[in-house]
Amino acid sequence: MSAMVPFDSARAVTTTALRAMKEAARPIVMVTAYDTPSARLVDAAGVDAVLVGDSLGMTVLGFDSTLPVTLDDMVRHTAAVVRGATRALVIADMPFMTFQVSADEAVRNAGRLMAEGGAAAVKLEGGTAVTPTVRRLVDAGIPVMGHVGLTPQSVHQLGGYKVQAKEAAPAVALLEDCRALEEAGAFAIVLECIPAELAQFASRELAIPTIGIGAGEGCDGQVQVFHDLLGLGGEFLPRHAKRFADVGETIREAVARFADEVREGVFPGEEQTNHMDTATRAEVERARTGRLRAVGDSADER
Ligand code: KIV
């Protein structure tokens, strides 16, 4: 185990603490969040890291992919999450085309996620091809989490949201991508939708932690999408996800009860009502009566 003391539940989680968790074989728990109330809840639940994923586009903004998510969207939602998460490490996704054009642009854009959004680290999709950018970011003092396997920003190139690297050649290439990301200075790597055996190879080969989603139990940690965990994503649930609660149904029931009470005249009741004192009420009534009389008089004159 590392000499650091990373697991104090009151301390803010750092990127180096995640590495120490891997060394101590303590599974890392990461979950997405996109706003202050959900960040407060997951932080209070004791997760190690909160990912402001560009899954925002699908879970919250109603798009059918992550591609339309903008840097401004991510800055705004990251800042909201940072206001809610006081302990967990907050990592912000770099959206589509904010890091691919040039390393200079990537540094500027990641800088906004950190300086304006308050993120402690950024995540970007891609393997060996993005390692020069990862190196530039790390050299600029920006901690980077990699993301390989099913990379949703490349959905059109991949031909859909499918399990990746099932054959030997792409599996070996993925391991090389992981190694290249580690060498470029990434502090952790998300492995999305790859065979469990491959994720286990990667997790064993790398000194930095792997965080899996649809990559089996051999990873150093697991990440899930908030809406999938809680039944907030409608009927569809990806195969790699598990619904731990049906909060969606609870919300539907609560809002239906609210609607019933409004329609039945039950809500608002006395408890939800503010009153003015009797003297003020009388004064307002007198003023209104006087005005109505004046309006009536001028109408009579016409
Ligand atoms: O955007 C996201 O939520 C992600 C996770 C699925 C890892 O990238």
pLDDT at 201 over 60: yes
**Single pTM value for the model:** 0.92
Q: Is 121 exposed, middle or buried (0-12, 13-18, 19+ CB in 10 A)?
A: buried
Asked if 192 is an active-site residue, the reply is: yes
Which of these, 146, 142, 131, 202, lies nearest to 172 by C-alpha position? Answer: 202
Give the atom of ligand 1 at the shortest distance from the alpha carbon of 123.
Answer: 8
Q: Is 110 in the pocket of ligand 1 (CB under 6 A)?
A: no
- For residue 54, report the distance from its CA to the centre of ligand 1, in Å: 6
- Asked if the 15-251 domain carries CATH number 3.20.20.60, the reply is yes
Ligand 1 pocket check for 43: Cβ under 6 Å: no
139-192 per-position pLDDT tens digit: 999 999 999 999 999 999 999 999 999 999 999 999 999 999 999 999 999 999
- State the Cα–Cα distance between residues 148 and 194, nearest whole angstrom: 9
- Asked if pLDDT for residue 4 goes beyond 80, the answer is no
Annotated catalytic residue, options 105, 116, 176, 192: 192
Confidence of residue 6 (pLDDT cuts 50, 70, 90): very low
pLDDT number for residue 99: 98
Distances (CA, A) of 298 to 239, 288, 289, 292, 302: 73, 15, 14, 10, 7
- Angle of helix 131-139 versus helix 168-184 axis, rounded to 10: 20
Q: What is the pLDDT of residues 12-26, one digit of tens each?
A: 999 999 999 999 999
CA 109, CA 96: separation in Å to the nearest integer?
A: 11
Assign 7 a pLDDT band (cuts: 50, 70, 90).
Answer: low
Ligand 1 center to 213 CA (angstroms): 8
* 231-282 pLDDT per residue, tens: 999 888 999 999 999 999 999 999 999 999 999 999 999 999 999 999 999 9
- Cα 223 to middle of ligand 1, angstroms: 8
Ligand 1 and 31: CB distance under 6 A: no
Mean pLDDT, the chain, as a whole number?
A: 95
Tell me 126's DSSP state. B
Residue whose pair of structure tokens reads 């907030």 in the numeric block: 232
Q: Strand 28-32 vs strand 89-93: parallel, antiparallel, or unpaired?
A: unpaired
